[in-house]
C-alpha cells in the first residue's frame, strides 16, 4: 500500500501539467511545459528520485504509478502538440498569399562540357574513315603502360611521363596507348581504332593538368606508310578547324613510334597570320604521331614483318582551347555554369 502523500503528489503534479498544457498558446510554450514536468530534470523525475526514501517493498509499486502517469501525460502532450502545430500552420496559410506578379528567379541551364563536345566531334570525324572506339581501365599495369610500348625498365623515356604510381606494378595510365596494346593482343587484324579517355600525369599549371583527356588512333594493316598518316591527319584537321587549315610535320621522338613526328596546324584563330595564341608564329602544335615501332607490334604478338601500323594522339583540352579560344586549361575543371553554358 502506497502512502497517501505519494498518490496525492502525483495527482496534483498531473493536474498542474494538464492545466498548463491546455493554456499553452503555441508550440514553444508547450515545449516549456514538457521540460518542466517531463524533462530529465523535470518534476516527475524528481519524484522518481525521491522514491529511494520509501521502504524497499513499496518502491516498485510507487515507480509504476509515477511512470504510468508520465505515459498518460506524454500522450496528452502529443495530442496537444499536434493541435497547436495544425493551428499555427492554418494561421500561416491564412495570412500569406501568393503574389503572381513577382518575376520568377532565372536559372541558367547547363550544356555539354567542351571536353565532351570536342571529343565527340573528333570521334565523329575519324569514324568517317573507318575508326571505331575502344576503352580501357584508368589503372594500368606498368607492362601495358610502358614495357609493351617500348619503354624498357630504367629507360630515360619514362621520365617524359611524370607518372602516378599505385605500386611497383600498377600506375594511373599516362596515355590511352595501353588500350592499343589490349586491342592488338585480343582482336584480329587489320584494325582501325580510337582510344579516347582520361589520363594522369604529375603536372599542373596554366597549360597543364594532372588529369586530362586524349584521343589516340591506331591503324594496323599491310603496307601502312607515312603517306596514310599524313592523309588521315590532314583530313582530320580540315574537318575540325576548317578547309583552309594546313598541317606540317616536324621530326620528333616517341619510344612507341619510328619515325615519329609532332603535328602543327595553322592557327585557326588568326588563320596563320600570327597572334597571341600562336605566339605570332601562325602555327600551333596539336599532337604527336608516327609509324608503330616494330618492337611494339612484336611485344603484342603481331608479326612486324607482315604488318605495319600508324598511331597518332591529340589532347582533347588542347584541341578545345584552340578551337574555342580558351586561355586557361584549369577552367575545364572548375564546374562553372557561366563557363560551360557558353558551349
3-state secondary structure 172-209: ECCCCHHHHHHHHHHCCCCEEEEEEEEEECCCCECCEC
Name the residue ranges covered by the structural domains of the chain: 4-95, 114-340
pLDDT at position 220 over 60: yes
pLDDT at position 171 over 70: yes
How many beta carbons lie within 10 A of that of residue 84, not counting itself? 19
Query: Best-predicted range by mean pLDDT among 148-162, 197-211, 285-299?
Result: 285-299
- State residue 74's pLDDT score: 85
Q: DSSP strand E in the chain: where?
A: 132-133, 139-141, 170-172, 191-200, 211-221, 247-254, 257-266, 283-292, 308-315
- State residue 157's pLDDT score: 62
C-alpha grid cell for residue 164? 602516378
User: What is the phi/psi pair of residue 15, to 5°?
Assistant: -65, -40
The predicted-structure confidence for 240-292, as pLDDT tens digits, reads as follows 998 989 999 999 999 999 999 999 998 887 877 887 777 888 898 999 999 99
- State residue 24's pLDDT score: 84
Residues 175-186, mean pLDDT to the nearest whole number = 95
Quote the mean pLDDT of the chain.
Answer: 87
Better-predicted residue by pLDDT, 16 or 7: 16
Residues in the chain: 343
- Cα separation of 60 and 240, whole Å? 88
The hierarchical CATH code for the domain 114-340 is: 3.30.930.10
pLDDT at position 211 over 90: no
pLDDT at position 15 over 70: yes
The predicted-structure confidence for 127-145, as pLDDT tens digits, reads as follows 999 999 999 999 999 999 9
Predicted TM-score (pTM) of this structure? 0.65
The predicted-structure confidence for 221-237, as pLDDT tens digits, reads as follows 999 999 999 999 999 99
- State residue 80's pLDDT score: 87
Residue 304: name the closest of 261, 253, 262, 258 by CA.
258
- Cα separation of 337 and 110, whole Å? 6
- State residue 110's pLDDT score: 72
- Show Cβ contacts of residue 100 under 8 Å, excluding neighbours closer than 6 positions: none
pLDDT at position 317 over 70: yes
pLDDT at position 104 over 80: no
* pLDDT band, residue 3 (cuts 50/70/90): low
The answer to whether the Cα torsion of 29, 34, 37, 41 is positive or negative is negative
- State residue 1's pLDDT score: 45
Amino acid at each position: 500500500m502506497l502512502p497517501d502523500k505519494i498518490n496525492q503528489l502525483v495527482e496534483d503534479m498531473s493536474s498542474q501539467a494538464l492545466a498548463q498544457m491546455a493554456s499553452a498558446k503555441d508550440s514553444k510554450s508547450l515545449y516549456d511545459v514538457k521540460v518542466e514536468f517531463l524533462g530529465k530534470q523535470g518534476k516527475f523525475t524528481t519524484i522518481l528520485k525521491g522514491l529511494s526514501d520509501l521502504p524497499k517493498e513499496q518502491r516498485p509499486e510507487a515507480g509504476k504509478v509515477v511512470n504510468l502517469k508520465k505515459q498518460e501525460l506524454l500522450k496528452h502532450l502529443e495530442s496537444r502538440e499536434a493541435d497547436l502545430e495544425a493551428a499555427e500552420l492554418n494561421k500561416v496559410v491564412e495570412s500569406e498569399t501568393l503574389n503572381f506578379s513577382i518575376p520568377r528567379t532565372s536559372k541558367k541551364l547547363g550544356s555539354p562540357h567542351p571536353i565532351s563536345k570536342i571529343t565527340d566531334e573528333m570521334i565523329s570525324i575519324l569514324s568517317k574513315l573507318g575508326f571505331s572506339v575502344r576503352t580501357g581501365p584508368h589503372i594500368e599495369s606498368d607492362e601495358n603502360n610502358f614495357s609493351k610500348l617500348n619503354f624498357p625498365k630504367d629507360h630515360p623515356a619514362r621520365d617524359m611521363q611524370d607518372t602516378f604510381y599505385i605500386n611497383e606494378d600498377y600506375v594511373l595510365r599516362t596515355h590511352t596507348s595501353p588500350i592499343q596494346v589490349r586491342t592488338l593482343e585480343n582482336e584480329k587484324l587489320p584494325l582501325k581504332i580510337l582510344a579516347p579517355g582520361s589520363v594522369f600525369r604529375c603536372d599542373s599549371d596554366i597549360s597543364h593538368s594532372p588529369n586530362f583527356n586524349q584521343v589516340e588512333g591506331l591503324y594496323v594493316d599491310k603496307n601502312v606508310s607515312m603517306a596514310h598518316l599524313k592523309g588521315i591527319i590532314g583530313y582530320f584537321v580540315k574537318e575540325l578547324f576548317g578547309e583552309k587549315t594546313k598541317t606540317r610535320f616536324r621530326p620528333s621522338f616517341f619510344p612507341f613510334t619510328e619515325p615519329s613526328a609532332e603535328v602543327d596546324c595553322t592557327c585557326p584563330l588568326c588563320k596563320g597570320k600570327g597572334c597571341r595564341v600562336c605566339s605570332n608564329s601562325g602555327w600551333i602544335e596539336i599532337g604527336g604521331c608516327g609509324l608503330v615501332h616494330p618492337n611494339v607490334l612484336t611485344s603484342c604478338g603481331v608479326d612486324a614483318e607482315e604488318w605495319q601500323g600508324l598511331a597518332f594522339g591529340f589532347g582533347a583540352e588542347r584541341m578545345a582551347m584552340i578551337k574555342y579560344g580558351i586561355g586557361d586549361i584549369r577552367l575545364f575543371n572548375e564546374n562553372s555554369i557561366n563557363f560551360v553554358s557558353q558551349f
